[in-house]
């Protein structure tokens, strides 16, 4: 995207609009407008080539007993392993198609590709039409003094780059810091660590925004639970109507020797979010003690199955790379947790397992049939409107930025970055955690009935989170 000969149109408020509808679904209980698995060969022909493709290679294998695929971007595109596309599904065609679409979503989220950023301004000069960055969680002042800490303190008078998004709360365009939307390397220090959290792709704009919002809901729920050490309800896997759910857990127990626990929580919006955990009952010090995962979806059993399908490959990957000596060092010094891979490595160590003790290991288990389902609708835009309304009713805005790249547009796909001010974002590297300036994180345990009073900041969980 050459600044001289590139032909990207300018990013303007006039280009921002709510996701258009209708977006008809194949059935009320299906939350995609089309099945990706049937597009595998088409997407492969468009994007995969070892010499010239956006995607350099596409490989698939059974990891943890589940089909998994990796769509690797060319080295010129990224050197970060987390920027490749990963697909974990019930069958290989779906896994490969999902991996390719996720790779395209990653490319679209690294830097702006469809529009040229035009607004460079101080927050003080655009505050009436801009998101206040402080509502997204920044850092306490002393964090900026850490050696090698890349980010700069927020200064309302300092000029930064902004992009336009759609605010569901205002029903109007809203400026958002570019560094919160696009998470690729920058020449200037951003305001905070940002990742692909809230980024999603879909067959239409509403689908992309819906799944971006579900990812925000997932990370917000499990991280608020972690930092506030809130209780969760253990789930009876045998109560599932979808018999694949207990079968996946049994497969991990039979093949890899791990017990599987699942817990469910729902924040005030009522989205079912599952925290799943594989635990080594033998306590072999050469094997990871615990591996965690999570997922959210409007349909509870779909969310749980997705969490378990992703847990298997994650567990097998940890078994392959687990280093007991390194895990011990991470457990002894949280500041050594610097990258994504360090978080699950840490909780492989037996000495860190006690940090998960707030999750109940015994007692009554909740039947999946007791978890409220989602109202049946034929239109995905109606599902998105309902979920966004629940956030607005709880005092939280939903902001969607269209990140659809020319490549995704050519494939008739859409992508979006969804931001919910006040939600807890996922970060990797313990020094990058963003819990400062999020009053909802401190009040949520009280409002959900777990405490009589708000938490103080010094009462938050001081340890790195366990999620990959």
Tell me, what's the pLDDT at 94? 93
Tell me, what's the pLDDT at 424? 98
Task: Please write the tens of the pLDDT for every residue from 372-407.
Answer: 999 999 999 999 999 999 999 999 999 999 999 999
- Are 301 and 245 a contacting pair, CB within 8 Å? yes
Provide the total of helices (H) and of strands (E) in the chain, helices listed first: 12, 14
Say whether pLDDT at 141 is over 60.
yes
The number of domains in the chain is 2
Q: In DSSP terms, which residues pair with 73 in a beta bridge? A: 55
Task: Please write the tens of the pLDDT for every residue from 303-315.
Answer: 999 999 999 999 9
Residue 412 maps to a domain: no
Longest Cα separation, the chain: 65
Q: Residue 17 corresponds to which tokens in the numbers above? A: 């609009």
Residue 310 maps to a domain: yes
Tell me, what's the pLDDT at 361? 77
- Strand residues in 349-404 grouped as ranges (E): 366-367, 399-402
Question: How far apart (Å, rounded) are the C-alpha atoms in residues 397 and 383?
Answer: 17
Question: How far apart (Å, rounded) are the C-alpha atoms in residues 255 and 250?
Answer: 8
Say whether pLDDT at 357 is over 80.
yes
Q: In DSSP terms, which residues pair with 130 in a beta bridge? A: 175
Q: Residue 319 corresponds to which tokens in the numbers above? A: 């078994």
Say whether pLDDT at 28 is over 80.
yes
The mean pLDDT value for 271-288 works out to: 96
When pLDDT is cut at 50, 70 and 90, the band that residue 131 belongs to is very high
Tell me, what's the pLDDT at 157? 98
Domain boundary among 311, 342, 370: 370
Domain that holds residue 36: 31-109
pTM higher than 0.75: yes
Residue 404 maps to a domain: no
Residues 356, 229: one domain? Answer: yes
Residue 332 maps to a domain: yes
Residue 65 maps to a domain: yes
> Which CATH number do you get for residue 71?
3.30.160
Say whether pLDDT at 20 is over 90.
yes
Q: In DSSP terms, which residues pair with 201 in a beta bridge? A: 415
Closest CA to 20 of 168, 206, 213: 206
Tell me, what's the pLDDT at 4? 62
When pLDDT is cut at 50, 70 and 90, the band that residue 1 belongs to is low
The mean pLDDT value for 133-148 works out to: 94
Residue 283 maps to a domain: yes
Domain boundary among 65, 82, 109: 109
Mean pLDDT of the chain: 94
Q: Residue 138 corresponds to which tokens in the numbers above? A: 């920044």
- DSSP per position, 175-232: EEEHHHH--S--SS--SS---STTEEEESSHHHHHHHHHHHHHHHHHHHHHHHHT---
> Which CATH number do you get for residue 235?
3.30.160.660
Say whether pLDDT at 90 is over 90.
no
Residues 230, 363: one domain? Answer: yes
Q: Residue 152 corresponds to which tokens in the numbers above? A: 């700069």
Q: Residue 214 corresponds to which tokens in the numbers above? A: 């579900």
When pLDDT is cut at 50, 70 and 90, the band that residue 161 belongs to is very high
Task: Please write the tens of the pLDDT for every residue from 265-275.
Answer: 988 999 999 99
- Are 297 and 373 a contacting pair, CB within 8 Å? no
Tell me, what's the pLDDT at 9? 93
Alpha helix ranges (H) inside 229-272 = 244-256
The mean pLDDT value for 206-214 works out to: 98
Domain boundary among 64, 93, 109: 109
Q: Residue 164 corresponds to which tokens in the numbers above? A: 């336009």
Say whether pLDDT at 118 is over 60.
yes
Residue 439 maps to a domain: no
Closest CA to 342 of 332, 333, 330, 354: 330
Say whether pLDDT at 52 is over 60.
yes
């Amino acid at each position: 995207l050459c600044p001289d000969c590139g032909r990207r149109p300018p990013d303007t408020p006039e280009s921002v609009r709510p996701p258009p509808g209708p977006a008809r679904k194949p059935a009320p209980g299906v939350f995609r407008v089309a099945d990706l698995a049937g597009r595998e060969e088409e997407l492969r022909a468009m994007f995969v080539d070892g010499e010239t493709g956006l995607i350099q290679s596409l490989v698939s294998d059974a990891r943890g007993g589940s089909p998994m695929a990796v769509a690797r971007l060319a080295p010129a595109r990224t050197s970060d392993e987390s920027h490749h596309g990963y697909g974990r599904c019930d069958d290989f065609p779906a896994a490969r198609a999902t991996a390719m679409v996720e790779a395209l979503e990653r490319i679209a989220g690294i830097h702006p590709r469809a529009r040229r950023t035009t607004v460079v301004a101080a927050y003080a000069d655009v505050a009436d039409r801009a998101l206040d960055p402080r509502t997204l969680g920044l850092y306490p002042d002393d964090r900026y003094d850490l050696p090698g800490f890349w980010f700069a303190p927020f200064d309302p008078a300092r000029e930064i780059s902004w992009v336009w998004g759609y605010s569901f709360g205002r029903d109007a365009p809203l400026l958002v810091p570019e560094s919160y939307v696009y998470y690729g390397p920058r020449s200037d220090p951003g305001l905070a660590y940002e990742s692909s959290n809230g980024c999603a792709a879909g067959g239409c704009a509403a689908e992309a925004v819906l799944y971006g919002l579900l990812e925000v809901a997932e990370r917000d729920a499990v991280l608020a639970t972690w930092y506030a050490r809130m209780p969760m309800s253990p789930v009876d896997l045998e109560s599932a109507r979808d018999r694949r759910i207990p079968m996946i857990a049994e497969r991990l127990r039979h093949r890899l020797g791990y017990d599987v626990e699942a817990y469910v929580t729902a924040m005030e919006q009522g989205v079912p979010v599952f925290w799943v955990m594989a635990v080594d009952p033998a306590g072999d010090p050469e094997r990871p003690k615990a591996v965690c995962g999570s997922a959210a979806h409007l349909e509870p059993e779909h969310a749980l199955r997705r969490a378990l399908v992703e847990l298997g490959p994650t567990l097998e990957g940890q078994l392959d790379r687990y280093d007991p000596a390194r895990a011990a060092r991470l457990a002894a010094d949280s500041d050594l947790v610097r990258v994504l891979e360090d978080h699950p490595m840490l909780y492989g160590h037996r000495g860190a397992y006690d940090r998960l003790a707030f999750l109940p290991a015994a007692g009554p288990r909740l039947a999946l049939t007791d978890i409220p389902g989602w109202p049946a609708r034929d239109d995905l835009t109606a599902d998105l409107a309902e979920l966004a309304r629940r956030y607005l009713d709880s005092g939280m805005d939903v902001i969607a930025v269209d990140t659809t790249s020319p490549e995704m547009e050519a494939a008739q796909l859409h992508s979006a970055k969804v931001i919910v001010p006040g939600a807890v974002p996922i970060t990797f590297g313990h020094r990058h955690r963003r819990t400062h300036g999020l009053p909802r994180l401190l009040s949520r345990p009280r409002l959900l009935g777990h405490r009589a009073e708000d938490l103080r900041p010094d009462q938050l969980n001081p340890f790195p989170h366990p999620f990959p």
